[in-house]
Every structure is written in C-alpha cells, then in structure tokens.
Structure 1
Amino acid sequence: MAVPFCLVSPWRFVRSARLVHAFRIPALQLHTTGSAMGATVEDFNHAKAQLGTLKKDPGNEIKLKIYALFKQATQGPCNTPKPGMLDFVNKAKWDAWKSLGDVSQDEARQQYVDLISSLVAAEGPAKVAAEPAGSTAAAAFETLLVTTEDNITTIRLNRPQKKNAITIQMYNEIIKALELAGKDDSVITVLTGSGDFYSSGNDLNNFTKIPEGGIEQMAKDSGELLRGFVKAFIDFPKPLIAVINGPAVGVSVTLLGLFDVVYATEKATFHTPFSQLGQSPEGCSSYTFPKMMGVAKASEMLLFNKKLTATEACQRGLVTEVFPDSSFQTEVWTRLKAYAQLPRNSLALSKQLVRVVEKERLHAVNDQEVERLVERWLSDECMNAIMSFFQAKARL
C-alpha cells in the first residue's frame, strides 16, 4: 500500500542501497528492428502509452533501460551532475543514462520503441478497460492517458503496475491535465485509473532525495505541491466526475468531496490511514467529509482509519452510485456519454452556482490542512510511525 504524503526515513535509504546493488546493468545493446527512417515521434508517444498497459513488473534492470532510453531520446546524452553517493535511486538512474554515451536521440527513440514493443508482445494482446472507441489523444503525458472523445475529456492514472501510486511527476501532470481540460471544448471531465486500482495513494519514492535545504525544505516543497494540487480541483470550472474502478487510498479518497459525481464499482474500497502514519487529513476532507457524513462517521475514517466498502461509501454520501463490477464500465460510460450531450455552458455555469459559496471556504481549509501536514511531517511522531510502517513491510 502506498501511503499519503510523507517523509522517508533513513531506513528507506538503506533499503534503496540494497536495490541499487541489483540495478547494476551492462551497456545497452538493443537490436533495432525499425525501418531505416527510424521511429517517429508518434511511434515514441505510442510506446509511452503502451508502457502503462504492462501488467507485469519488468524488473529493475529493464526499468532502468527504459528510463535511460527515454532520457536519451528526449534530452540527448546525459548532461546533468552526478547525484550524491547517498542518493542511491537517482544515482542508479544517472548511471544507466550515462552508459548510453553518444547514442543519438533518433537511435535511442528507436531502441525505446523496440524495447516497449517486445515487452508488450511478451504479455500478449493488451486489454484497455473502458476506453471509449475512437478516442483521440488530447495531450502527451508520461504518467497519464488523457483523451477527448464524445465531448468527454478523460484523465486516466496510468501506472497500473504500481497500482496508480501518485508520483511527484503525476501530481504535476494531473494539475496540467486539469488546466487543459478546463479550457478545452469538452462538456465534462472524468478521472479514473488504469488496471485494477483507482489509486493506492502517494508513491513512497516521492521523497527519497533530500534537497539542499534538508527535511524542512522537503516538507515545505511537498506542502506547496499539495496546496496547488488540491487547488486545481477546487477551481475546476466544468463538471468533474470520478470513475472509481478499484481500491482508492489516501489523497485519491480525500479529494472525492471536490468532485461533482462519484461512480464506483462494487469492488472498490476507500481508505484514509492518516493517523496510522502520524499524519492528518488533506484534500479538504476535514471539511467535506463531516459535511457529507456527519462528524462521527467522518471521524471513523479520518481519525481511526476505517476502510469503507463501496456500499458503505455510498451510504455515507462519498459515492454517488455503486454498480456491479461486471457491468460497471458499460453502464457508467453510457451514462457519461448522455451527460456529455447536454449544453456545455449551461452545465459549467450551473456547477459554478452550486460551488461558488463553498470555494472561499475550501481554499481556506486547503491552506490549513497543508500547514498542519507540514508540521506533522517534521514531527518525531510522524517519522517514528513511518519507520514502523517500513519495517513492518520489510518483514513481510
């Protein structure tokens, strides 16, 4: 389980050091099978999308090759300073990129496409759940699949092999995707996940690199990222619908009070284990949850880590409607396509009327929650709770 925003303990670095020993890889020598013209940018973007459909973890060595080829293809030979000796994960990535030497960007792009194609072929035909037929790409992202079709812009969290755990890059890409969707010609915007999970919460790798300002700077930067992330949902101008295709954890749950409609499969669960990790709520949930559920029911979730089934979440007002898993995607997308035929401006203006009274309050709550979380991240209590969590996982 990935956890909500947190600071990683020194124990994490020890664990990373063990992983890096396994990361050591030979120089990349991939056979190019493409045409003499090489892979096009379209081929490259298609390969990026295919990467997100992989069901099996290809292993650390292959992931480092993928990372190195991507960097070489998009930026050319490695030209960044070598990370410090204690920055184990980023040092392994840097070494992999550096090992490509002067391989051209065109050649790296071709090798990237060939490698992803071979991984996809090894798994057999991919099944893309609930992607409306004929959809077209709205923007190119590394951690998301963003498409627009039938007046619907769909933002799909696209790290199924990591249960859609949210990285720093994904936070920034979601902010950007919402900004673009708010300005495009679509009528409604949908957020959902690839694979079996909606999202397992925050990715622990977010905080493996301590900045020059130390833990205090990390906490400050994380707080500002979270503040901007939640703000993007508060200010979103169109109807925003969550399609919860599987379990949801942490910030992916707390944000649901900012959506206009939430549809869930019966297999979904909702978990906010903040106090278990010495932390406190975010996503305006300290305000929206008590308003939806009542204080006692909200406290069960936010204080005492109660995990809700989809039916329980619906009964408490967190979810609009629950669907049988076997017909979830068909029923939901049929309904969404009907919604998307309604007048665009009418829907947007109506949403603004519903939300305008709350916006100022929500922004104030967001600020308060971020301030409290920054305090929590710097506390011994939080660090000890996270250390215990890591050690418990290591014993599994």
Structure 2
Amino acid sequence: QQFNCAKSQMGTLKKDPGNEAKLKIYALFKQATQGPCNTPKPGMLDFVGKAKWDAWKSLGSVSQEEARQQYVDLIDSLLAPEGLVVAAQPTGSAASFDTLLVSTEDNVTTIRFNRPQKKNAINVEMYNEIIKALEESGKDDSVITVITGSGDFYCSGNDLTNFTKIPQGGMQQMAKDGGELLREFVKAFIDFPKPLIAVINGPAVGVSVTLLGLFEVVYATERATFHTPFSQLGQSPEACSSYTFPKMMGNAKASEMLLFNKKLTATQACAQGLVTEVFPDSSFQTEVATRLKAYAKLPRNSLTLSKQLIRGTEKERLHTVNDQEVERLVERWLSDECMQAIMSFFQAKL
C-alpha cells in the first residue's frame, strides 16, 4: 500500500524536512495507525513529548484513512523536489493511475484527485483518467462511488496550462480536441449508473463545482468554498450547469455564480441546494464515513434502478445541454476575450 511505501521512503530523504514537517509526519503517522490521540498530556518539562502530543492532538477526529492519505501526500511533497514519488498504488484498484488514487473497500469505490501540489487542477491526463475510473467503477461490484480530493483542496478546476500545449493544428485543433474531451468527460458523469457522492474536502473551483449538479449527494467541510469564475476568464458554463444550477437554486442565484463569479461558502452552497450537508472540519471525515458505510449496505440493484427513475427522464436533456455548452466553449476558447484573460492569468503568476 502507498502508506507502507511512504513510510519506507521517508528514510530516503536527503534533505532534513525541518521540525515543523517532522512533527506533522509524526502526528499523521500516529493518527493513521492508532486513531485520535487519547494519551495523557506530557509534563511541562518534556518539551519534545509535549510538541509531539500537541501535533497529534491537533488532528482531532480525522479518520485513520484520511490520515494515511495525508501522510502519503506529505511524504510525496517532500520527495518531489528530489525527483522521487511514493510509488505503490492502493490495493483494490483495478488499474494504475498517475493523477488519481482509486480504491474499493466495503462496497465503496473512492476516486481521489491526486495532484495536491497543483491543488488537484485537472490536466488532460487527469480528464482521461477520471473517464476511465468512472467507466470501471460503473461496472464493478461496489454499491456507491465517492469522489474527493487529496490535500487541502478538493479541486482547483481546469489546469490552465492545458492552454499552453498547442498541437500541430494550432489553436483551432486545440479547441476542437478540448471540446471533444470535455464532452466525453461530462458524458461519463451523465451516464454513470450508480449513486455518485461528492466529498468536498476543501475549496472547489470551475468544472469541479459545475459537475456537482450531476451528483446524487454532496457533502462538504465547513471550510469548503465554491467558485465558478467563467466570465473572469472569458469563458462560459460547462458540465450542464447552465441547466442544473437554475433548476437547483433558481435563475437569480445561479446567475450570481455562473455570470458574476460569486464565490459561495459551504453554508451558502447548502442553503442554495448545491450541497446536501455541511460538517465541522474537525469531524468531517468521520461523519461522512459513517454515512457512506450505511449507504454501502443498501441493496445495489434497488439504488441503481431508483437512480434510473430519478435521472432517466432528463438524461436526454442533459446530453443536449452538454453538446450546446461544449459548442459555445470551443467558440470562447478561440475568442480574443478568453485568450487575453488567460494571458493575464499567467502574467500575474510571474
């Protein structure tokens, strides 16, 4: 497993990561292997022991699974500058992915965005891998499928470096290829047969937000935010949000997000129907895991057939909207407005 691999690779670091990182590594390891801290607090004169105890205690009720993942992510971030990665894939994965962690346990398939250093921004490879992971998850024996993120972000949306890789056919070919990829990506969500649950572990931006109208349930930590800055980038809505958002929250609230780039807090998103329930960050993973465990015990066929009834009447409409949105986005990507906005974005990062 990646956790065991990360543990062994910790010793290969050439550069001392520093005391702060070492305390975090210690705390995550203890949380991952023993659960929340319930040991007595060391005495005031035991400075090292007290620092370790404080670091472990600060993790609160973070689940062992999430602590293992955070441990792997942290070791990965320390290995990256030395040209190394945590190599092992999690058990239960039907295929190997470079940008995702996919695992199945207790009738739950989890697809975890795994580009934490890029805030889980979706590049071309990740788009293709998500399509593949959904295809496999739709056919496996799991009852529900969960999508979440590694690290502090859920997903920062489309990786804008996708626009810097111009193919031989120029911008026209890039826009055409991007449109076809986006069409297939959204189609994979529209056609997904099982209950799909989003576990929003941090800020969500762009397409990772607009897709939420295609999920059955959306759980969010209180520190999550939801932002769709399309007009700022000279672009337009995607992932059927031009249809699902007004349907969920009404035209006025949908327009604030999709036209005027309003960023929502988790509480606001819940009040507007985008999010099912919001949890305190300290208990988020534990409370969500309890719900997922209960859902995974429900009859598989009953859930699948019920989803068909709920979603079936609008599936054709969703495919039509997807086609219309992609057509408009291809136009936008080739527009002066969009190109200028993206150039300004990269210049601001210099």
Q: TM tier, shorter chain?
A: 0.7 to 0.9
Aligned counterpart for 1:251 among listed residues 207, 218, 237 = 207
Please name the residue that 1:104 is paired with.
none
Paired residues for 1:113-262 under 5 Å: 117-118=12-13, 122=17, 124=22, 125=25, 127=28, 130=63, 131=65, 136-138=91-93, 139-262=95-218
Query: Following TM superposition, by how much is the alpha carbon of 1:184 offset from its aligned partner in structure 2, in angstroms?
Result: 0.3
| SS, match of residue 185 in structure 2 | helix
Paired residues for 1:340-351 under 5 Å: 340-351=296-307
Please name the residue that 2:315 is paired with.
359
Distance 1:116 1:168, change over 3 A: farther
| SS, match of residue 110 in structure 2 | strand
Paired residues for 1:17-36 under 5 Å: none
Provide, for residues 292-321 of structure 1, a one-character-per-residue CA deviation record: whole Å limited to 9, x for no partner.
010010000000000000000001100000
CA distance in 1, matches of 2:334, 2:285: 42
CA distance in 2, matches of 1:251, 1:49: 32
Please name the residue that 1:273 is paired with.
229
| SS, match of residue 349 in structure 2 | helix
Q: Any unmatched runs of 5+ in structure 1?
A: 1-41, 54-112
Preserved contact between residue 270 and residue 313 of structure 1 (Cα < 8 Å): yes
Query: Following TM superposition, by how much is the alpha carbon of 1:121 offset from its aligned partner in structure 2, in angstroms?
Result: 8.8
| SS, match of residue 137 in structure 1 | coil
Distance 1:306 1:148, change over 3 A: same
Query: Following TM superposition, by how much is the alpha carbon of 1:258 offset from its aligned partner in structure 2, in angstroms?
Result: 0.2
Distance 1:319 1:298, change over 3 A: same
Aligned counterpart for 2:251 among listed residues 295, 303, 313 = 295
Paired AA for residue 136 in structure 1 = T
CA distance in 2, matches of 1:223, 1:352: 27
CA distance in 2, matches of 1:335, 1:216: 46
Paired AA for residue 305 in structure 2 = L
Query: Following TM superposition, by how much is the alpha carbon of 1:204 offset from its aligned partner in structure 2, in angstroms?
Result: 2.1
Query: Following TM superposition, by how much is the alpha carbon of 1:208 offset from its aligned partner in structure 2, in angstroms?
Result: 2.1
> Comparing both chains, which one has the higher relative contact order based on Cα–Cα distances under 8 Å and sequence gaps of 6 or more?
1
CA distance in 1, matches of 2:190, 2:325: 14
| SS, match of residue 92 in structure 2 | strand
Provide, for residues 16-54 of structure 1, a one-character-per-residue CA deviation record: whole Å limited to 9, x for no partner.
xxxxxxxxxxxxxxxxxxxxxxxxxx8xxx49985xx9x
CA distance in 1, matches of 2:12, 2:305: 45
Q: CA RMSD in A?
A: 2.5
CA distance in 1, matches of 2:210, 2:140: 26
Please name the residue that 2:220 is paired with.
264
Please name the residue that 2:325 is paired with.
369
Provide, for residues 110-144 of structure 1, a one-character-per-residue CA deviation record: whole Å limited to 9, x for no partner.
xxx969953799555384765379x8332321111
Preserved contact between residue 253 and residue 272 of structure 1 (Cα < 8 Å): yes
Q: Any unmatched runs of 5+ in structure 2?
A: 33-61, 69-89
Quote the sequence identity (%): 78
| SS, match of residue 141 in structure 1 | coil
Preserved contact between residue 47 and residue 117 of structure 1 (Cα < 8 Å): no
Aligned length: 289
Preserved contact between residue 136 and residue 149 of structure 1 (Cα < 8 Å): no
Please name the residue that 1:34 is paired with.
none
Provide, for residues 327-357 of structure 1, a one-character-per-residue CA deviation record: whole Å limited to 9, x for no partner.
0000001110010000011111111110000
Preserved contact between residue 47 and residue 116 of structure 1 (Cα < 8 Å): no
Q: What is the TM-score when the length of structure 1 is the normalising length? A: 0.69
1:390 aligns with 2:338: no
Paired AA for residue 315 in structure 2 = K
Preserved contact between residue 48 and residue 142 of structure 1 (Cα < 8 Å): no
